[in-house]
Every structure is written in structure tokens, then in C-alpha cells.
């Protein structure tokens, strides 16, 4: 039984090589987690930090709620299986498996029982007397697994355990390890560079690249809803097809214009998760479609409006028996060019030849769209926000003919045809000035995603649990203006994350004969939590006193009260602006020459004390940009 929690884990080698950046994840008991990504992306480093074989530069690692950063590997109750088996060559299989138990001075009978149990699970009972060199690769890996399971660890870590085996054996061992996971009912963390291995074994997969987590999700979700071009291309074989181009909206219709010359048309409601800002025929996008979501046109195909027609020229046909892969190009003039290249997974009875020009159909449901510049998905499963064209008229925001009174904190002049970004969490249903019609509801992992028809546009709202409203309902909606951005008018969503420059210091406490530590912001001194002190010293040692830091906290954790002379452990400042959002009021407070935002219901010019719970403050080392506590 073990759950793990990795909070802001960093690994920095030699003070500069950032091998792992801000790895955050909660792993539940009995999960089978796979870390996958190309060589050098930081997967092994992360695994080795969990094992205790590599020091954690910064961050917090918990096993079953206990912080284990400083635990020796042997005290973490973890077993690790390596790619090269790491068996003792001079010992028999039996002794290899019994070794760790003998070190623990377990009774002989108990050791025997455990070894025989593990050997029978792994089917190696008949080799117990052999030396490792008299075993095949697959058998050796079984012994390595056996050596791990006899110890009955809380967590199993496996670092590319199958990469020394041939393809057939690898496939067999994959299912064996999956069965072992089911049988043992322990938490497994498995590292591989092979996406097929990841997809077939993991209950959840962490895709990594260049030291950064790209996406954490189930195999199915990674395949269906990749967050970016990297994940989209990495997961799935044959790879997703990518085409650069632009997209435009003409009334109810949307047209993707690919650089290779092909145009893909569809209805706006089939593409309405894409922010309209991209539908300007200018923004460069990448259109992605999996080989499974393209089909060769045939009489038998049902036309239900969810397939767009196109043409392709065939360059290579691979008949695989169960299916046929057609390699071709959307640009009929350039069958072998990279630009416009497409792979189509067709049924085995499809008969096409090199040079044929074929009619194909591209799914209008299962396509992907990415921003060319950021390579992030812009057709996300849950859209970040509704992007709407609106105007501002005398203190009102007008969206599709509907007026919303702007709170006094949102100051802007009259303007027409400007983009307003309303994050999905800013739009709530069931009350408010807005009127919408529920056009569609999608269930996304226990949440209800509403597609709301507002005039000509689709807007989004998310509700936890079952949907309160149903398709066809007319609903009222409310906009939380603290979250709304109107770029063109300089209106930004209220940023409630406060960042203060500061330092860390110590003072001799004569009475207690020890040092007191402080988080300094200008002349203000805040008392850190004990755990914070431990963490900053663990990462920085005494260098902490010379390191420029950032103290980060959210407005929601701060409490504000009238200034009291001599108050300690507070930030004292002057309110220089009141931000009235109607349902909530905030204040900008000048503190030691820096500005913070807090919830406050007073007046401009007030002198206030802001207190922040010590454990709610995050500390960042500005020199190498890592979170240290």
C-alpha cells in the first residue's frame, strides 16, 4: 500500500543543468504509472529521486504522507528493477533472490517461503540452482523482478526493464509485468522511451520532454486529447498527420486552408471549441488528424455530415494483413514531399496503387488543431475560455446584443468589435444578466461541459457533477469580471498571485540561545514555518542568506486589518487603489515599495497590516528560477 506525492520536484546538476523542472503529481495506491519520453527527458532522474539514489534538489516527495526526501533508499520500502538486471553473477538464482532477505536477518524458513512464492509467480522455479549466465535475457529479468518482489515493497520502480530483450519477448514480458502488478496490488512506476509499452501498461502516463512534464493522463485520453504537438506526435502509431495552414469562419461555416493546397470545410458547431480569434485566416495553425480518422471514400461509407472530402495521391502502400497503410500526399503534384504528406489506415480490402489519385474523407469530429507558435492545442477537450467579439458602450459590455454592466474595477472606454476572453470558470449558470440556450452538454470525467448558444457564438461553462440543465433549456448566466480580459482595452484579469522580492536572514536569539530566521521584504520581517526553514537549508545551505528570493502567495490566503503600531510578522502598507468587482472588493496595497493585491472592503489611503499564514508562502530562488519551499 503506497501513495506518492511529488510537489514541485526539481533536479539541477552542477548548479546549472536542469534535468527535471517542477514535477508535480499525486500517485494513488495501486496505480501503474509510466514515465515516457525521448532519451534525456529526465525520466530516469525522476525515478532515481523517488528511489533515493539521486538527491532531490528542491521539492517535496511524500510516500504515504511522510516526507522522505532525506530517507536512505533502504528506508523507503521501495524496490527497483534495472534494465541491466544487476544480478550477482557468482550467486545462484535462489541466492540472488534470497540475498536482500538474508541481510534483513529473516528466519531461514521465511526466506525460503518467500523465494519459492516469488519463483512460482514468475515461473522460474526450475532454474533456482542456475547462475545468471546460464539464463536467457527474459529469465534474468524475471529473476531481477523476483528479487524485488520477495521484499514485499510498497512501491516498485522499474527503469527500462525490457529494453535488453527482443521484440517478441518484450511483448510477452509486458503482459507478465501487468499481471504481476494486478497480482501484487502495489504501486508501480515504470520508465520507458517506448510509447507502445507506455500505452499498453500504464493506468496513467506521464509524457516528458526536455525535463518538463508535457501531459499526465490515461492512455486513452493522451491519444484522444493530446495537449500539444509533441504529445500528439509521440503517442500513437502510425504518427498523427500534421498540416500547417490557417482557418477562417464564414457565418455558420468554417474552412481550414492547408498550406499544401487542401481545404477542409465544416460547420462552425463542429469546430466551436477553437477560439474564434484563430478563425481569422491569418493565425498560423497546425491541423492534426490521425491515420485512423481518415478513410478512403467508398459507396459503403455513411455520410452523416461528419466527414470532409479531399483528394490524395498515393506513394506507398503497405499491406499488413489486418489493415492497409496508404502513404500519400494531399498535394497531387508532389507525392513524395514532406509538406502535405499523409498516412491513411485503410481496411485490408482497399486496392490502391502508387500514383493513384484517391478520394479520401477526413473526420470532422476527431481532428486536432494546434497554435503553430506555441504548439499547444487550441481545440482542447475543455476549452480554457470563451473568446467572444464584443463592444463596450457607456460602462456596459455588449456581447451578441446582450448588455452586462461592467463593475467599477473594470475601467474602459467605448469600443467596438474587440475580443473579450471569458475563462470557463468565470461563467456560471442559473443566475445573472446573460441569456443563453443550452446547445450541447458533454460529460468530461465527472464534469458537465456546457456548449451555450449566445447569439451567433458558442460559449462555455463547466459544472461539477451531473448537469443541472438539459439540452434546449434557456438559462441565465453570470460573468465574474475578476477573471475577464479585454486585451485591446488594456483590461487584464485580476492577478491574485502576489510576488514580492525579498531575502532570508537570521538573528541571534540571546534568550533561547539559538537563531531566529526571517523572510525579509524590505524592512518587514515575516516568520517562516519550521518546515520552510528545513527546506530552504536543504536546498541552499547557508547560501540562502545571499540568495535573491521571491515570496509568492495568493490574495485569498491573506488577512487584512487596520494598522497597529509595532505589529510583528505582518506586511504594513497603504491602500492605493480599491478594486470593486461588485460581488467582491480587492485592494492594491503598497508594501515596502512593492505592490500586492488583497481582498479588502475599506478605503483608499488606509494604512493596513497584511498577515499571511507562513505555510501558504512559496519561495522561489531567483538565481536559477526554481521553487525551493
Residues in touch with ligand ADP (CB under 6 A): 13, 17, 19, 37, 39-45
Closer to ligand ADP by Cβ: residue 84 or 298 = 84
State the Cα–Cα distance between residues 186 and 180, nearest whole angstrom: 9
Strand partners, 13: 17
Report, in Å, the least distance between residue 359 CB and ligand ADP: 43
Q: Residue 49 Cβ, how far from ligand ADP at the closest point, in Å?
A: 9
Residue 488 main-chain phi, psi, to 5 deg = -60, -25
Q: What is the 3-state secondary structure (H, E, C) of 352-404?
A: CCCCCEEEEEEECCCEEEEECCCCEECCCCCCCEEEEEEEEECCEEEECCEEE
CB of 194 to ligand ADP, least distance (A): 12
Q: How far is the CB of 174 from ligand ADP (least distance, A)?
A: 19
Bond before 238 cis per omega within 30 degrees: yes
Residue 44 CB, nearest approach to ligand ADP (Å): 3
What DSSP state is assigned to residue 529?
P
Of residues 39 and 523, the one with the C-beta less far from ligand ADP: 39
Minimum Å distance from CB 45 to ligand ADP?
A: 3
Beta carbon nearer to ligand ADP, 40 or 582: 40
Chain-centroid distance of CA 489 in Å reads 32
Question: Which residue, 211 or 407, has its beta carbon nearer to ligand ADP?
Answer: 211
Buried b (16+ CB within 10 A) or exposed e, 174-185: bebbbebbeebe
CB nearer to ligand ADP: give 210 or 375.
Answer: 210
Strands 385-393 and 341-346: unpaired
Looking at the Cβ atoms of 163 and 611, the one nearer to ligand ADP is: 163
Q: How far is the CB of 114 from ligand ADP (least distance, A)?
A: 31
Closer residue to ligand ADP in complex, CB, 16/133: 16
User: What is d(CA 443, CA 463) in angstroms, rounded to the nearest whole number?
Assistant: 10
Q: CA-to-CA distance for 11 and 258, rounded, in angstroms?
A: 41
Nearer Cβ to ligand ADP, position 39 or 556? 39
Q: How far apart are CA 444 and CA 42, in angstroms?
A: 31
Show the cell assigned to 115: 523465494
> At a CB cut-off of 8 Å and minimum separation 6, what does 625 contact?
none
Residue 590 CA to residue 503 CA, distance in Å, equals: 18
* Close Cβ partners of 376 (under 8 Å, ≥ 6 residues apart): 227, 228, 370
- Least distance (Å) between residue 156 CB and ligand ADP: 17
- Shortest distance (Å) from residue 149 CB to ligand ADP: 24
Question: Which C-beta is closer to ligand ADP: that of 43 or that of 170?
Answer: 43
CB distance 478 to 489 below 8 Å: no
Amino acid at each position: 500500500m503506497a501513495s506518492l506525492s511529488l510537489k514541485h520536484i526539481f533536479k539541477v546538476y552542477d548548479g546549472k543543468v536542469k534535468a527535471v523542472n517542477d514535477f508535480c503529481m499525486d500517485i494513488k495506491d495501486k496505480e501503474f504509472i509510466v514515465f515516457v519520453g525521448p532519451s534525456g527527458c529526465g525520466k530516469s532522474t525522476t525515478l532515481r529521486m523517488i528511489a533515493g539514489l539521486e538527491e532531490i534538489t528542491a521539492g517535496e516527495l511524500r510516500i504515504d504522507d511522510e516526507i522522505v526526501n532525506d530517507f536512505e533508499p533502504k528506508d523507503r520500502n521501495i524496490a527497483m528493477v534495472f534494465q541491466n538486471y544487476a544480478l550477482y553473477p557468482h550467486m545462484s538464482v535462489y541466492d540472488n533472490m534470497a540475498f536482500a532477505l538474508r541481510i534483513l536477518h529473516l528466519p531461514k524458513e521465511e526466506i525460503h517461503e518467500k523465494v519459492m512464492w516469488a519463483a512460482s509467480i514468475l515461473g522460474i522455479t526450475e532454474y533456482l540452482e542456475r547462475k545468471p549466465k546460464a539464463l536467457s535475457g527474459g529469465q534474468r529479468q524475471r529473476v531481477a523482478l523476483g528479487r524485488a518482489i520477495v521484499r514485499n515493497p510498497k512501491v516498485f520502480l522499474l527503469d527500462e526493464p525490457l529494453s535488453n530483450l527482443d521484440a517478441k519477448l518484450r511483448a510477452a514480458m509486458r503482459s507478465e509485468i501487468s499481471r504481476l502488478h494486478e497480482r501484487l496490488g502495489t504501486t508501480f512506476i515504470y520508465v520507458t522511451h517506448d510509447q507502445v509499452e507506455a500505452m499498453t501498461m500504464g493506468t496513467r502516463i506521464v509524457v516528458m520532454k526536455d525535463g518538463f512534464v508535457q501531459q499526465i493522463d490515461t492512455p486513452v485520453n493522451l491519444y484522444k486529447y493530446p495537449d500539444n504537438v509533441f504529445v500528439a506526435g509521440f503517442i500513437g502509431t502510425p504518427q498523427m498527420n500534421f498540416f500547417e495552414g490557417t482557418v477562417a469562419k464564414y457565418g455558420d461555416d468554417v474552412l481550414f486552408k492547408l498550406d499544401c493546397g487542401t481545404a477542409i470545410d465544416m460547420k462552425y458547431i463542429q469546430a466551436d471549441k477553437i477560439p474564434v480569434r484563430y478563425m481569422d485566416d491569418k493565425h498560423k495553425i497546425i491541423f492534426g488528424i490521425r491515420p485512423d480518422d481518415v478513410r478512403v471514400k467508398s459507396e459503403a461509407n455513411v455520410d452523416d455530415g461528419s466527414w470532409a472530402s479531399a483528394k490524395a495521391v498515393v506513394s506507398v502502400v503497405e499491406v499488413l494483413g489486418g489493415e492497409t497503410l496508404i502513404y500519400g500526399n494531399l498535394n497531387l503534384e508532389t507525392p513524395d514531399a514532406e509538406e502535405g504528406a499523409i498516412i491513411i489506415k485503410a481496411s485490408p480490402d482497399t486496392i490502391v496503387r502508387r500514383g493513384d489519385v484517391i478520394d479520401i474523407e477526413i473526420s470532422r469530429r476527431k481532428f486536432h488543431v494546434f497554435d503553430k507558435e506555441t504548439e499547444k492545442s487550441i481545440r482542447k477537450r475543455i476549452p480554457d475560455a470563451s473568446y467572444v467579439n464584443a463592444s463596450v458602450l457607456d460602462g456596459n459590455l455588449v456581447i451578441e446584443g446582450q448588455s452586462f454592466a461592467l463593475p467599477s474595477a473594470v475601467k474602459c472606454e467605448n469600443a467596438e468589435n474587440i475580443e473579450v476572453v471569458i475563462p470557463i470558470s468565470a461563467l456560471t449558470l442559473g443566475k445573472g444578466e446573460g441569456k443563453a440556450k443550452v446547445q450541447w452538454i458533454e460529460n468530461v470525467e465527472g464534469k458537465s461541459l456546457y456548449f451555450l448558444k449566445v447569439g451567433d457564438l458558442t460559449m462555455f461553462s463547466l459544472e461539477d457533477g451531473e448537469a443541472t440543465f438539459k439540452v434546449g433549456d434557456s438559462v441565465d448566466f453570470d460573468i465574474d469580471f475578476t477573471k475577464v480580459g479585454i486585451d485591446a482595452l488594456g483590461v487584464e484579469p485580476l492577478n491574485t498571485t502576489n510576488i514580492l522580492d525579498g531575502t532570508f536572514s537570521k538573528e541571534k536569539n540571546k534568550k533561547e540561545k539559538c537563531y531566529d530566521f526571517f523572510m525579509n521584504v524590505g524592512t518587514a520581517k515575516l516568520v517562516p514555518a519550521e518546515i520552510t526553514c528545513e527546506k530552504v537549508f536543504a536546498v541552499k545551505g547557508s547560501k540562502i542568506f545571499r540568495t535573491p528570493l521571491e515570496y509568492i502567495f495568493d490574495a485569498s490566503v491573506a488577512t487584512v486589518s487596520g494598522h497597529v503600531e509595532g505589529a510583528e510578522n505582518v506586511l504594513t502598507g497603504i491602500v492605493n487603489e480599491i478594486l470593486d468587482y461588485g460581488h467582491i472588493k480587492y485592494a492594491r496595497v503598497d508594501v515596502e515599495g512593492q505592490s500586492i493585491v488583497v481582498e479588502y472592503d475599506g478605503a483608499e489611503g488606509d494604512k493596513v497590516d497584511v498577515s499571511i499564514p507562513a505555510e501558504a508562502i512559496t519561495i522561489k530562488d531567483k538565481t536559477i528560477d526554481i521553487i525551493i519551499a
